[in-house]
Amino acid sequence: MARTLLYLVRHGEQDGTRPTADGGLSSLGREQADRLGRRLAAVSFSQIHHSPLVRAAQTTDVLTHHLPQVPRHPCDFVADRTPVPSAARRDQYPDRWLSWLDGVPGEERDKDAAALQGAVQHFGVTSEVDRCELLVTHNFVIGWFVRHVLQTPVWRWIGLDSANCGLTIVTWESDQSPQVVAFNDTGHL
């Protein structure tokens, strides 16, 4: 029986004084990442996959001080995305969310969650050996993974908020359905 454990982490707090959408971490964000790194130091990760955005890369920089032997790389599968329904699937979302979704910037839009579904298909599989991987990503990506594992309606990712450097763990085992082990655990903060 092979098992895949995915540790999903939202990046540390972004520096609110920077005017760009891809700003780096605040001093609190670096402290959050350091506390998380101390918590994860004893976990045997095979890889760290991080979003290409600066705040996720900087979070990973801090984490790797505690995980120096773990290879890391930027990964488009965990890039910042917002699932938005196509015209044919708008009826799958409550009306109260549609105007907000219509306002999502073009570079963040993931039509019918195609990219996020690809991420789940890529990471949410078992292989011949056990895997334990760390994904440093964004709130909606984590929400999508949890929504998928819990098999809830497509729009339920919306209410699943993760704190900065909150820890979510999901698992896939070859002989059973995937499970949420922990959601938004902030005990280290």
pLDDT at 18 over 80: no
Q: What is the predicted pLDDT for the residue at 20? A: 67
Q: What is the mean pLDDT of the chain?
A: 95
In the predicted structure, residue 19 carries a pLDDT above the cut 70: no
* Region 112-126 average pLDDT: 97
Determine contact, residues 149/171, Cβ cutoff 8 Å. no
pTM: 0.95
pLDDT tens digits for range 83-117: 999 999 999 999 999 999 999 999 899 999 999 99
Element (H, E) at 149: helix 139-150
Q: What is the pLDDT of residues 176-188, one digit of tens each?
A: 999 999 999 999 9
| Residues whose CB falls within 8 Å of the CB of residue 145, separated by 6 or more in sequence, listed in order | 6, 8, 119, 120, 124, 168, 170
Domains and CATH numbers, the chain: 3-185 (3.40.50.1240)
